Structure 1
């Protein structure tokens, strides 16, 4: 990271005159309070990347500067900052792209050599890298004698590129002056658009981030310049009705009040630009334009709390912060306008762990938007959540982190992962892994659960895939004694704090939390509660009766296969028709339902329409294609009312799935009784091993 010209001058001023006040600097450099704050933040970012203490400001506008900063920077400040006359190849590439996107004249090689002060051979070499960069946007850099060098391709992609390049150039040393020189943009134009943007802020009751306020005038001026030259967006994927009634569209109209000839498609694009711009502050946020956004974020937070074993305090404030970021992110992701984020320095181990847990909790947002969440957006969300955790003194670094390693397939591994997560709610469970994935796993962890022995220097606990109540009791006792030396109480301290805060005022919440944990964690073994009358586990032949078996030669589609398989349970009232639809939706999202060769177990949540526990089986002689990878002969529908009663039958079904001979026999027979007889064999085997 390098400082631009203005930030560099302000840092020099602070080093040479540490008693200077904010007001003096604002007057001397003709800055607003907001612009100075932005520069100080940039300077602190630069100090941080150079392992130097940050500059602080008092309420009276004075600066507190650590002596280390003076000793390192006084007299030889320039040694720390890139020489602005020497440009690296990647910087030259960005400046060439800027000229191609923003120049008002036809460009030849001479233009680039003069402006960048390098040889023609260097420019020709840089042009190859320019094309590599353009390949990411499916664009081409072409030369003709008549028009010189031009970027050709879809105008929507060119706009995405333009936005990215403006940001990258402004991050360079003297970036603003370079940008103005190479594009011919004047100070008066910038100031005019800044005033227009500030009026937009007032209309929308928001404040854009300082970074966006710096880049938006340049971006908008260059967009309008392209429109004037005839480079307009021809086909636009956003429908007029989707954005025309938003406040941002009204703001666009005011932003372009004197430009009546701008077509509607371009007004929609600029509206989208406003919608995708990060805000620092927003008043009276509503989700009118993005229905269900609030509930999706709330669900995401609850999933994160569960996986990270924490409870967020001042939750509404955190929700507001996330909403302010995620609303523009919604449009960025939906219309593929996501920025690339650059984080200076190496990421801490804890940040990587939090980002991993965020990525595992983000499914509700993915479903709402209908697209994968890019890594850059996940990183932004991680920064917000991680910062909030630091604010309330939370750290997953101090928690026990566990992984589950299971060689018996994805579905079994996830079942084991879910059971252990519930058995040890105070642990952070990072992942369920195959043995191969385990050998290359990068995140830090403390303990491993596995049904088989593994070579590891971490604590390894051998656990059966499916645990009965007594086995769970013994495993929890064993693990807790080895990890803590005692059996911690299962009561959730954060939930206790929530109840206490409802009816009283707590002066020191952190101290209260520590004392409650100390008190509860030294309770005796009664903290582990046994169920007096656990529900009776059912065998495979009890669950899949002859009445629940359907034999067909073939079906036309996966959806038909699920409906045929579920029909006996549907007709007997064990499930509702909506449960079948829920199973089909779930199976489209994840192939973990395949438990073995040719066997799949579609299922959904109990609340999606389950009235009683049950299983049904469809056998197909000709397999139905589930995905490109999986062809299925056996579709076994599972209706579960709890996490226990169907587990024994499922374990027996998996043993059947591992027998090629019995699978083949069941595929070839035309007798329902014969299929049930095969399933009964595995019920007997399991009973024999458990007695």
Structure 2
């Protein structure tokens, strides 16, 4: 580790004048209290890398420096400063962009003079800069009159400014270089820093050190652009969305002596404050983001179910998440996610955890109205992963499984649901097609599939739909091989005896019943009630006289789908686009045939599903599906979620396994005869 220029000078000052006070150093070097604290932290980190004691500060502002530090430097130890004279190609690009963002009338001579490189090198750097800013829809233009300038919407240029500034300040001696390059005076920095610290007091929070190091420069440069007439003219944030926030009132205080700042610019600065990460806040409330705490709580519950983990001290973790997600909410909503602190990638150790966290962010994405970006979920992963480590939990120690099913989305989900219920102690990462399986990037221990697969992991062959006997056999087989015992050997009474030794039981009879139900659960447990205690729907709920169509034949598979889907279109349950999507799914998903004469065509909810629904087309003469299959019973499925239709699908799978009942359906002379058979499965 090397010290930056400012920290090196401060350490040299302390070595030569150990009786100096904090106030003396602040005045001599033109630093704020926050800047001095930041440099002392850097110095202490540097000392620790050299196995030297840290420098302490007293309440009165004096410094306590261990004798070993003086001894080390008296022996000739030098402070290795970072060399800022030689910049890489990427670093030169940041210098060029910062000049373009803050200066006018720029020519090649200005760039070559600043960077001490040739014109050809600058032209190459300008080309690279153009490629870098393309994502912001900003371009570099040259005219004889104006020289090199940036062209694009001002909001996009501001985003670019904040991004480049963050990168620039990470350069060697970046703060000193920036101050010289764009002429930022120490007094101006102190004044803006003082205003931001006043805002911290007003808002009862503390911004992170990384953000605090960049915020004064950001505000100075943004205000300069405003004064030069580079204004955000069409702002897509409504005044009402931000004007009630504390940050808006804080913006007014920061700009109290700037009378000519337009409303759009005040909203932009408010948004900047709202998107800035904080590491502490006295008041953690939802404020202008209704239902945020509920969404975070739902996210945690989804994660707990997927990771088979119970989070301890849940409220404390929720507070930590809220502290991060409040600014993240505005970053995501207004596409400013480049400016979040924290890691941009997940370490190998957290890959599977990150996958589970990403799959659990649905409530948060629904609240914001768009998917959670990778860099934001990465930070969520680190927060949750650190919390689990603190409580002594790790998903690495848990058995992780995947489900590989070649029979289409609905059957795969049913198989996944059954296995997850059958093995609640396992983490089920995903349900995959065979092609996805051979390129799956995450670590796992077990594979469940109805077909044989090439794998070096433990593979268990299981049916897409399992009866009670097969479930019992499979659980015994898996637990015996994985853990050396058979789960069904567990006895509720014995478990209760152990629990009573270590806990006070308020209702022994009810606990015994719950333990027994859990250890001896059957198929009915696989169908859970929906949110709000809404019962799962049966086959008879979906297949009614209104949704049954009887025909002798159909001219083609496509024609059969149109006829079979017609009742659902009439009801408004699906759009016509859903039928087209089902036709297109045939090539992608040839496994919708689940019985000799029975198929369950379906597409995705996004293809035009308005409500969960099913219909039945009965053909006396089968329609060709492929060269192998002629289909007479077509159950069209339109699902909105992964759960509501599962019970009906399980009953349909049972029907697919009963040849006699299929034949009775095909030979039925009226709809009532069909409904009698459907009710039999619905009541089973």
Unaligned 5+ segments in structure 2 are: 493-497, 506-514, 528-535, 593-598, 620-633
The 5-angstrom pairing of residues 176-195 of structure 1 reads 176-195=175-194
Partner Cα separation in structure 2 for residue 54 and residue 672 of structure 1: 89
Partner Cα separation in structure 2 for residue 125 and residue 378 of structure 1: 36
What's the offset of the Cα at 1:410?
2.8
From 474, 495, 520, give the equivalent of 1:529. 520
1:5 aligns with 2:5: yes
Higher mean C-alpha displacement, 454-463 vs 415-424: 415-424
Partner Cα separation in structure 2 for residue 655 and residue 43 of structure 1: 77
**Offset from partner CA, 1:232-252 (integer Å, 9 cap, x none):** 001011111111121111111
What's the offset of the Cα at 1:74?
9.3
Unaligned 5+ segments in structure 1 are: 492-496, 505-523, 569-576, 621-632, 657-661, 687-691
1:439 aligns with 2:438: yes
The 5-angstrom pairing of residues 69-468 of structure 1 reads 75=77, 78=80, 83-103=83-103, 105-339=104-338, 347-468=346-467
Contact kept in structure 2, 1:10 and 1:25, CA below 8 Å:
no
Higher mean C-alpha displacement, 150-159 vs 437-446: 437-446
**Offset from partner CA, 1:209-233 (integer Å, 9 cap, x none):** 1111111111111111111111100
What's the offset of the Cα at 1:137?
0.3
Look up the SS of the partner of 1:599 in the other structure. coil
From 649, 652, 671, give the equivalent of 2:652. 649
**Offset from partner CA, 1:522-552 (integer Å, 9 cap, x none):** xx99983144998999998997465531589
What's the offset of the Cα at 1:566?
8.6
What's the offset of the Cα at 1:397?
1.3
What's the offset of the Cα at 1:11?
7.8
Look up the SS of the partner of 1:91 in the other structure. helix
**Cα distance 1:204–1:455, how it changes in 2: closer, same or farther (>3 A)?**
same
From 565, 568, 572, give the equivalent of 1:565. 568
Higher mean C-alpha displacement, 372-381 vs 400-409: 400-409
Contact kept in structure 2, 1:550 and 1:672, CA below 8 Å:
no
**Offset from partner CA, 1:441-467 (integer Å, 9 cap, x none):** 221111111111111111111111122
Partner Cα separation in structure 2 for residue 673 and residue 62 of structure 1: 97
Partner Cα separation in structure 2 for residue 499 and residue 159 of structure 1: 64
What's the offset of the Cα at 1:470?
2.7
Paired residue for 2:602? 600
Partner Cα separation in structure 2 for residue 409 and residue 265 of structure 1: 51
**Cα distance 1:541–1:212, how it changes in 2: closer, same or farther (>3 A)?**
closer
RMSD: 5.3
Look up the SS of the partner of 1:460 in the other structure. strand
**Cα distance 1:239–1:342, how it changes in 2: closer, same or farther (>3 A)?**
closer
**Cα distance 1:332–1:654, how it changes in 2: closer, same or farther (>3 A)?**
farther
Greater Rg by CA? 2
Partner Cα separation in structure 2 for residue 298 and residue 499 of structure 1: 32
TM-score by length of 1: 0.73
**Cα distance 1:181–1:534, how it changes in 2: closer, same or farther (>3 A)?**
closer
Contact kept in structure 2, 1:294 and 1:323, CA below 8 Å:
yes
Partner Cα separation in structure 2 for residue 543 and residue 223 of structure 1: 59
Partner Cα separation in structure 1 for residue 7 and residue 618 of structure 2: 71
Partner Cα separation in structure 1 for residue 566 and residue 7 of structure 2: 65
What's the offset of the Cα at 1:381?
1.1
The 5-angstrom pairing of residues 470-485 of structure 1 reads 470-485=469-484
**Offset from partner CA, 1:456-486 (integer Å, 9 cap, x none):** 1111111111222332222222111111112
**Cα distance 1:653–1:532, how it changes in 2: closer, same or farther (>3 A)?**
closer
**Cα distance 1:567–1:426, how it changes in 2: closer, same or farther (>3 A)?**
farther
Partner Cα separation in structure 2 for residue 174 and residue 94 of structure 1: 14
**Cα distance 1:387–1:204, how it changes in 2: closer, same or farther (>3 A)?**
same
What's the offset of the Cα at 1:635?
3.7
TM-score by length of 2: 0.74
Paired residue for 1:574? none
**Offset from partner CA, 1:609-658 (integer Å, 9 cap, x none):** 99xxx9534799xxxxxxxxxxxx974357987955640404767999xx
**Cα distance 1:267–1:123, how it changes in 2: closer, same or farther (>3 A)?**
same
Paired residue for 1:636? 637
**Cα distance 1:501–1:473, how it changes in 2: closer, same or farther (>3 A)?**
same
